[in-house]
Chains A and B, each alone.
Chain A
Amino acid sequence: MTSSVLLVREHESGGVQELPPDPGTTRRKRARFTPIVLLVPALIILAAVIGWPLVQLFVMSFQEFGRAQVFGADAPFVGLDNYARVLGDPQFWAVLGRSILFCVANVVTAMVLGTAVALLMNRVNRFFKTLVSVGLLLAWAMPALTATIVWGWMFDTQYGVVNFLMEAVSGQDFTNHSWLIDPFSFFVVATIIVTWGAVPFVAFTIFAGLTQVPDEVLEASQLDGAGAWQRFRLIVFPYLRSIFVVVIILQVIWDLRVFTQIFALQGIGGIKEQTSTLGVYIYQTSIGGGDYGTGGAIAVIMVILMVAISVFYVRRSLREEEQ
């Protein structure tokens, strides 16, 4: 009997079940003790490898911390100097603005294309649906780094297949056209790479949501004379609203912290100063430039930004989980 008290089930309704007041038996004490023991290994790892560096990062952002300090020199506290330097640096604002623009462009592109593909999968027959799914899965499975390098080869200045196809289609001369040297064109390529990897996730998630929209409602509205766009806007979209919110937030989080694609693309060609996003900029300031204090201040700003967005998202998904 006591044992069944220990096995309190997770409640779908979300009401927190409090354990009855502690009667002081050893059995009960174990019940309180066991979950903590089970959590300890995970907690130790997270505290040591995420928590402790996070504290260090925060401290470092208030210190003068350069190469000398890495080799053991004292790191004097400089108050808010690092932050003042970062916030007064036009380069930082350029990077931040670029990151946000890139993020917005990528989220919008991936959402529009992903939704379109999901609607397409919902309309076509079994054969075409399988065809599209197979293609999307392959793109989804491709590691970000290999994808970037492969796209880099396809956009190669001399022998890239893209230049060949552009020339064949447009009839204009694309011989030795460099896609990465111009910052705008660089970001167009980066957007293609990121979108290519993101559309499968968006499409599959929204497609899963679409299958939950009742057919009767759609048929009824069609009989009432609603066109395709009206049906999407007035019926499908409200059903999928929460899925859209979740997918958009996740895309914002992922695209704002984009690193691999930009970094690898800069390695293939492209001017670092004009194409760095927030993550790459932190890498260049700290690892490349050796200014860990300033890099730390930018990193703290980035952590705060990301955690603020995440808290909103996590609250929401936990609430939905409990409904």
Chain B
Amino acid sequence: MSGVRTKRSTSILLGAASIVVFVFSVFPVYWMVNTSLQPNNEIRGSVPNFFPQRLTTANYETVIFDPGRAPFLPALGNSLMVTISTVVIALVFAFLASLAVTRYRFRSRKTFIFAILIIQMIPAEAMIVSTYRVLDGWNLLNTIAGLTLVYVATVLPFTIWTLRGFVNGVPVELEESAMIDGCSRTGAFWRITFPLLAPGLVATGVFGFIQAWNEFLLALVVNSRPEMMTLPVWLRTFQQVTGTTNWAAIMAGSTLMAIPVIVFFLLVQGRMTSGLVSGAVKG
């Protein structure tokens, strides 16, 4: 009898703990959206509104059409251009490299994999000044091309490592049997292996997108001119110029920046767990 009671009280306790974890995890995201949907004067009361009293899109309009000294739309454009070019170039280069390390044996193969993983761990914080100078030497400061180049190098190691896992997952016997049936080596690869890799390519590309979209420090140093800012640098600038006077608009800006990432992340997270453990998707 008492055993049953302890069991029940334990499960109530565990359920309560689950709810606490859920609330604590979700609350900041909720608070961001909640604040962004309220008029700025209503979030400055002695009691905060836990639900919007009067829903408004005014903050989003301020961010998009009237952001003052920190224009949003150019930053959005820059972010889109840089992240999309980064993903496309990184995927192509990483794909070729991952084929080399999975489908061939060559002497420096292990050295290459080792180097890739080490390079991934070199902190961007330490590289800012020399990266700035090197890009300056190539006249690529404050350009889309320059920042893209930097981001391709940043996401490349992780992309190669992850794609390598996906290519390894496609049995080489499939290609071999196609070749026995008369396919050329390249033909076998494109007709058999490549279609099987498509989901892996998409997932890896999305993670490259998230990394490039979120990157803050290098963009801050390399593309510092207002018209060349990306979204993270824009968000911080916007927060600095509006100060503590317009948190509602700052939250609207934060929401606009975070939403694509959250959606993409939820779409692909299941595929990436193993890659995440061995790699490094994090600010």
A residues adjacent to B (C-beta < 8 A): 3-4, 6-10, 16-19, 31-32, 34-36, 38-39, 41-42, 45-46, 48-50, 52-54, 56-57, 60, 70, 117, 120, 123-124, 128-129, 131-132, 134-147, 149-151, 153-154, 156, 158-159, 161, 164, 196-197, 199-201, 204-205, 208, 243, 246-247, 250, 253-254, 257, 259-261, 263-264, 267-268, 278-280, 282-283, 286-287, 292, 295-296, 299-300, 302-303, 306-307, 309-311, 313-314, 317-318, 321
Assuming the contacts A7-B103, A56-B130, asked whether A131 and B254 have C-beta atoms less than 8 A apart, the reply is no
**Cβ contact of B128, chosen from A10, A17, A153, A286, cutoff 8 A:** A286
Residues in chain A near residue B117, CB distance under 8 A: 310, 314, 317-318
Q: Is the interface of A mostly helix, strand, loop or mixed?
A: helix
Total A-B pairs, Cβ < 8 A: 309
B interface, by DSSP: helix, strand, loop or mixed? helix
Contact A60 B129 (CB under 8 A): yes
CB distance from A310 to the nearest CB of B (A): 4
Whether A45 lies near B48 (C-beta < 8 A) is no
Please give, as numbers and ranges, the residues of chain A lying within 8 Å of B35 by CB-CB distance: 153
Contacts of B93 in A (CB 8 A): 41-42, 45
Please tell me which one of the listed residues B94, B239, B261 contacts residue A42 in the complex, with CB atoms under 8 A apart. Answer: B94
Evaluate contact between B102 and A53: CB separation under 8 angstroms: no
Chain B residues with a Cβ closer than 8 Å to the other chain, count: 99
A9 to B221, CA, bound (A): 44
Q: Given A132-B18, A159-B43, A200-B25: A267 and B118 within 8 A (CB)?
A: no
A147–B250 alpha-carbon span in the complex (Å): 12
A306 CB, nearest partner CB in chain B, Å: 5
Q: Specify which of B110, B122, B150, B236 is in contact with A303 (CB 8 Å cutoff).
A: B122
With the chains together, A46 CA to B236 CA distance in Å? 29
Given B28, B149, B280, which contacts A142 in the complex, CB threshold below 8 Å? B28
Which residues of A are found within 8 Å of B229, using beta-carbon distances?
Answer: none
- Judge if B277 is at the interface, Cβ distance under 8 Å: yes
B87 at the interface (CB under 8 A from A): no
Interface residues of B in 116-163 (CB under 8 A from A): 117-131, 133-134, 149-150, 152-153, 156-157, 160
Chain B residues positioned under 8 Å from A299 (CB to CB): 125-127, 129-130
Min distance, Cβ A34 to any Cβ of chain B, angstroms: 7
Cα-based distance from A306 to B120 in the complex (angstroms): 11
Given contacts A150-B28, A161-B31, A299-B127, contact A132 B22 (CB under 8 A): yes
Segment from B52-60, B70-78, B172-180 that makes contact with A: B172-180
Say whether B97 faces chain A, with CB atoms less than 8 Å apart: yes
Report B94 CB to chain A, min CB distance, Å: 7
Instruction: Verify A150–B26 contact, CB threshold 8 A.
Output: no
On chain B, the residues within 8 Å of A321 by CB distance are: 278
When the two chains form their complex, are residues A49 and B153 in contact, meaning their CB atoms are under 8 A apart?
yes
Rounded to whole angstroms, the CA-CA distance of A19 and B109 in the bound complex is: 13
> Is A38's CB under 8 angstroms from B26's CB?
no
Contact A137 B266 (CB under 8 A): yes
Contact A60 B130 (CB under 8 A): yes
Please name 6 further chain A to chain B contacts, defined as beta carbons within 8 Å, in addition to the given A253-B280, A280-B125, A310-B121, sorted by A numbering.
Answer: A54-B127, A137-B265, A143-B261, A144-B283, A145-B216, A303-B123
Task: Enumerate chain A residues within 8 angstroms of B194, measured Cβ to Cβ.
Answer: none
How far is B217's CA from A123's CA once the two chains are assembled, in angstroms? 40
In the assembled complex, B88 has its CB within 8 A of some CB on chain A: no
The residue in chain B whose Cβ has the minimal distance to the Cβ of A256 is B123
* Contact of A128 with B214 at beta-carbon distance under 8 Å, contacts A204-B273, A282-B125, A282-B128 already known: no
Given the complex, which residues of B lie within 8 Å of A257, measured CB to CB?
Answer: 123, 125
Residue B258 interfacial (CB < 8 Å): yes
Give Cα A303 to B179, complex, Å.
Answer: 47
The answer to whether A196 and B22 touch (CB under 8 A), given A7-B175, A53-B134, A292-B129, is: no
Which residue from A4, A35, A117 sits with its C-beta under 8 Å from B100?
A: A35
Q: What are 18 A-B contacts with C-beta separation under 8 Å?
A: A8-B105, A35-B104, A41-B93, A42-B156, A45-B93, A46-B156, A131-B19, A131-B22, A142-B29, A144-B216, A145-B214, A145-B232, A150-B31, A159-B43, A197-B283, A283-B125, A283-B221, A314-B114
Q: Give which listed residue, A45, A137, A151, contacts B156 with CB less than 8 A.
A: A45
CA distance A107 to B127 in the complex (A): 24
A124 and B258 in contact, given A156-B244, A257-B123 (Cβ under 8 angstroms)? no
